[in-house]
Amino acid sequence: MEQRLRQEAKTLLEQGKVDYIIGFEQGSLKFTTTPLITKDKGDADRLVINPFIVNNLSVYLTDIEGRVGVVAKGCDSRSIVSLIQDNKVNREEVVIIGIPCPGIIDLSKIEQLVGKDRDELDDITRDGDRVVVTVDSKKKDFPITEVLFDNCLGCEFPTPKEYDVLLGEPSTPVADKTVSRAKVETLEGMTQEQRWQFWEEEFSRCIRCYACRNICPACFCQRCFVEESEPQWILPIPQWQDNLIFQAIRNIHVAGRCTDCGECDRACPVNIPLRSLTKEMYDLVDELFHYKSGMDKDAPPLMTAYETEEAEDFIR
Amino acid sequence: MANRKINKRDIEKLLSQWGQEFTVLAPSKESGIATMSKWNGKHANFLDWYRNTVIPPKGNFFPSMEKMFNFQKDKEGYHLELPASNEQKQLIFGIRPCDARSLAILDMTFKDAYEDPYYLPKRKNALLVGLGCTNPYDSCFCTSLGINPAESSDVDLMLIDIGDEFLIEEVTDKGKKLIAAASGVEEASEADEAKAKEAKEASYNKVTRKIDTEDIKRKLSSSFDNQDFWEGIAAKCISCGICTFLCPTCYCFDINDELAKGLGARFRSWDSCAFPIYTKMPMENPREEKWRRVRQKVYHKYGFYPMNFGVIACTGCGRCIRQCPVNWDITQTLDRLPAEA
Structural domain boundaries in chain A: 2-104+148-304, 105-147
B77: left (phi over 0), alpha (psi -120 to 50) or beta: left
Q: Is the pLDDT of residue A68 over 80?
A: yes
Contact A269 B246 (CB under 8 A): yes
Q: ipTM above 0.90?
A: yes
Residue A21: φ, ψ to 5°: -115, 135
Of B239, B256, B327, the CB nearest to A235: B256
* Closest CA relative to residue B203, chosen from B46, B96, B328: B96
Mean pLDDT of the region B244-248: 98
Q: Is the pLDDT of residue B332 over 60?
A: yes
* Number of C-beta neighbours around residue B256 at 10 A: 16
Q: Is the pLDDT of residue A175 over 80?
A: no
Residue A166: φ, ψ to 5°: -115, 120
Percent of chain B with pLDDT over 70: 99
Mean pLDDT of the region A149-156: 95
Q: Is the pLDDT of residue A307 over 90?
A: no
Span between the terminal Cα atoms of chain A, in Å: 49
What is the 8-class DSSP label of residue A152?
Answer: H
Query: What pLDDT is recorded for position A172?
Result: 84
Mean pLDDT of the region B140-151: 98
Distance CA A154, CA A177 (A): 5
- Of B30-34, B77-81, B82-86, B266-270, the poorest mean pLDDT is in B82-86
SS3 label, residue A51: coil
Of B32, B235, B331, the CB nearest to A205: B32
Query: What pLDDT is recorded for position B341?
Result: 61
Mean pLDDT of the region B105-118: 95
For A82, how many CA atoms within 13 A lie in the half-sphere containing its CB? 28
Contact A210 B325 (CB under 8 A): no
Residue B227: φ, ψ to 5°: -60, -40
Contact B327 A32 (CB under 8 A): yes
Distance CA B250, CA B272 (A): 8
CB pairs under 8 A between A and B: 111
Contact B238 A237 (CB under 8 A): no
For B190, how many CA atoms within 13 A lie in the half-sphere containing its CB? 0
Cis peptide before A231 (omega within 30 of 0): yes
Mean pLDDT of the region B4-29: 96
Q: Measured between CA atoms, how close is A210 to chain B, in angstroms?
A: 6
Of A34, A235, A269, the CB nearest to B326: A34
What pTM does this model have? 0.95
Query: Is residue A258 very low, low, confident or very high in pLDDT (cuts 50, 70, 90)?
Result: very high
Query: What pLDDT is recorded for position A173?
Result: 84
DSSP output for A55-69: --GGGGTTT--S-EE
Contact B256 A237 (CB under 8 A): yes
Q: Measured between CA atoms, how close is A306 to chain B, in angstroms?
A: 34
- Cross-strand pairs, A34: A25
Identify residues of B whose CB sits under 8 angstroms from chain A CBs.
31-33, 51, 54-55, 64-65, 135, 137-139, 235-236, 238-242, 245-246, 254, 256, 258, 267, 269-270, 272, 275, 277, 290, 321-323, 325-329, 331-332
- Of B28-32, B154-158, B226-230, B249-253, the poorest mean pLDDT is in B28-32
| Closest residue, chain B, to A65 (C-alpha) | B235
Query: Is residue A267 very low, low, confident or very high in pLDDT (cuts 50, 70, 90)?
Result: very high
* Closest CA relative to residue B70, chosen from B80, B62, B60: B80
Q: Which residues of A touch B327 (CB under 8 A)?
A: 27-29, 32-34
Mean pLDDT of chain B: 95
Residue B170: φ, ψ to 5°: -85, 110
Q: For residue B293, give every residue at least 6 positions away whose Cβ sits within 8 Å of its Cβ, in sequence order, or none.
A: B234, B239, B273, B274, B275, B276, B278, B287
Distance CA A97, CA A79 (A): 14
Angle at B332 between CA B218 and CA A26, to 5 degrees: 160
Mean pLDDT of the region A178-203: 95
Q: Which residues of B touch A202 (CB under 8 A)?
A: 32
Distance CA B290, CA A271 (A): 26
Query: What pLDDT is recorded for position B1?
Result: 54
Distance CA A121, CA A133 (A): 7
Contact A215 B239 (CB under 8 A): no
Distance CA B216, CA A135 (A): 36
Question: Given the DSSP bridges, would you call strands B65-74 and B77-81 parallel, antiparallel or unpaired?
Answer: antiparallel
**B58, burial (CB in 10 Å: exposed 0-12, middle 13-18, buried 19+):** buried
Of A28, A120, A205, the CB nearest to B327: A28
Query: What pLDDT is recorded for position B181?
Result: 84
Query: What pLDDT is recorded for position A314?
Result: 62
For chain B, what are the domain ranges?
Answer: 4-206, 213-335
Mean pLDDT of the region B309-323: 98
Q: Is the pLDDT of residue A23 over 60?
A: yes
- Of A42-51, A86-95, A250-259, A298-307, the poorest mean pLDDT is in A298-307
SS3 label, residue A254: coil
Query: What pLDDT is recorded for position B85?
Result: 73
